[in-house]
């Protein structure tokens, strides 16, 4: 059904490309015979020139991509303060950097794990990037448990401890549970009792709810999702591609 709808839209677009003069006519003013003749002529033209349909599909996809990008830009602009300075999300890289990169992530997301070393490479190559991590667990209870543990660690033990836990959770492939998380905290010389007790607290819940509300406001439904300054980037991106985009932003400012 989706393919048929897309083809119908492409056919309409093809008609506008192939016969702009014909669209000047009011089709509703035609007689039934005239409409049939007009439809037959269009069908004949498209059958004889099927490449027009392919051209129209390209045009349609470009128009849709432009519309989606414009919508994303408007959504980000309306939420920039909450994205970059919410007062609770972990900030890494250079806190005073000239470029802010926000990442919505989930510890159980394979693409987030793939992105993790790319982000580390980017920060190592460019010491002027400010990274904001948004805990956005969307892949089930294990994701939520991991994020609660990470946030509780930050609240109890600070930013450096959060970073250690964040990196450990990102590489952790087993199913998280209280025993495993306790062992993880103890292995990092953290107060496991305090962190585990904090996991279900109201402040941890509030952070998760605020981030989820922000994601819904931005129409973010997958991870990783990045916001580079004021541009939404949905999905995995390698370090070199992000670096090119950052350089373009800096060049545009100068």
Residues 89 and 25 in one domain: no
Using CA atoms, how far apart are residues 243 and 238, in angstroms rounded to an integer?
A: 9
Residues 44 and 111 in one domain: no
Using CA atoms, how far apart are residues 20 and 235, in angstroms rounded to an integer?
A: 38
Residues 49 and 174 in one domain: no
Name the percent of the chain lying above pLDDT 90: 69
Instruction: Give me the number of domains the chain comprises.
Output: 2
Residues 15 and 118 in one domain: no
Q: Which structure tokens are listed for 223?
A: 């991870």
Task: Report the CATH number that the domain containing residue 185 is assigned in CATH.
Answer: 3.40.30.10
Asked whether residue 95 carries a pLDDT value surpassing 50, the answer given is: yes
Residues 46 and 99 in one domain: no
Residues 242 and 178 in one domain: yes
> Which residue among 54, 75, 96 closes a domain?
75
Cross-strand pairs, 134: 104
pLDDT per residue as tens digits for the range 7-16: 444 455 555 5
> Which residue among 75, 93, 115 closes a domain?
75
Domain that includes residue 10, residue range? 2-75
Residues 100 and 53 in one domain: no
Residue 4: the pLDDT is: 41
Residues 85 and 190 in one domain: yes
> Which residue among 20, 41, 75 closes a domain?
75
Residue 212: the pLDDT is: 98
Residues 217 and 153 in one domain: yes
pLDDT per residue as tens digits for the range 157-172: 999 999 999 999 999 9
Residue 7: the pLDDT is: 46
Cα angle value 114/218/106 (rounded, 5°)? 30
Q: Which structure tokens are listed for 220?
A: 């973010």
Residues 17 and 117 in one domain: no
Q: Which structure tokens are listed for 28?
A: 């509703």
pLDDT per residue as tens digits for the range 207-233: 999 999 999 999 999 999 999 999 999
Asked whether residue 189 carries a pLDDT value surpassing 50, the answer given is: yes
Using CA atoms, how far apart are residues 57 and 203, in angstroms rounded to an integer?
A: 49
Q: Give me the sign of the Cα torsion angle 144, 147, 152, 153.
A: positive
């Amino acid at each position: 059904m989706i393919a048929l709808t897309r083809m119908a839209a492409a056919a309409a677009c093809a008609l506008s490309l192939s016969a702009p003069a014909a669209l000047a006519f009011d089709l509703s003013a035609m007689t039934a015979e005239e409409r049939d003749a007009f439809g037959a002529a269009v069908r004949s033209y498209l059958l004889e020139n099927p490449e027009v349909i392919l051209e129209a599909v390209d045009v349609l996809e470009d128009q849709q991509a432009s519309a989606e990008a414009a919508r994303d830009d408007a959504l980000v602009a309306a939420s920039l303060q909450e994205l970059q300075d919410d007062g609770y999300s972990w900030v890494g890289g250079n806190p005073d950097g000239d470029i802010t990169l926000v990442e919505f992530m989930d510890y159980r997301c394979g693409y987030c794990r793939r992105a993790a070393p790319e982000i580390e490479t980017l920060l190592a190559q460019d010491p002027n990037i400010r990274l904001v991590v948004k805990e956005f667990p969307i892949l089930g209870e294990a994701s939520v448990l991991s994020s609660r543990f990470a946030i509780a660690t930050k609240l109890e033990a600070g930013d450096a401890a959060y970073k250690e836990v964040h990196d450990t959770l990102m590489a952790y492939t087993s199913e998280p549970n209280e025993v495993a998380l306790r062992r993880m905290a103890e292995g990092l010389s953290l107060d496991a009792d305090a962190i585990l007790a904090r996991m279900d607290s109201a402040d941890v819940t509030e952070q998760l709810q605020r981030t989820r509300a922000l994601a819904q406001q931005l129409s973010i439904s997958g991870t990783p999702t990045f916001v580079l300054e004021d541009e939404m980037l949905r999905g995995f991106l390698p370090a070199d591609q992000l670096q090119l985009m950052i350089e373009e932003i800096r060049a545009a400012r100068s």
